[in-house]
Amino acid sequence: MTVPTVTVRYFAGARAAAGRAEETASAGRSLDELLTELTDRHGERLAAVLRAASFLVDGVTCHDRRAPLPAGVTIDVLPPFAGG
* pLDDT averaged over 10-residue windows placed end to end, the chain, 84 residues: 90 95 95 96 96 96 93 95 61
Query: What does the alpha-carbon distance between residue 69 and residue 71 come to, in Å, rounded to a whole number?
Result: 7
Q: Note the pLDDT of residue 53.
A: 95
Query: What are the respective helix, strand and coil percentages of the chain, to the nearest 5?
Result: 30, 30, 40
The pTM assigned to this predicted structure is 0.92
Q: Note the pLDDT of residue 2.
A: 78
> By CB neighbour count within 10 A (0-12 exposed, 13-18 middle, 19+ buried), where does 84 fall?
exposed
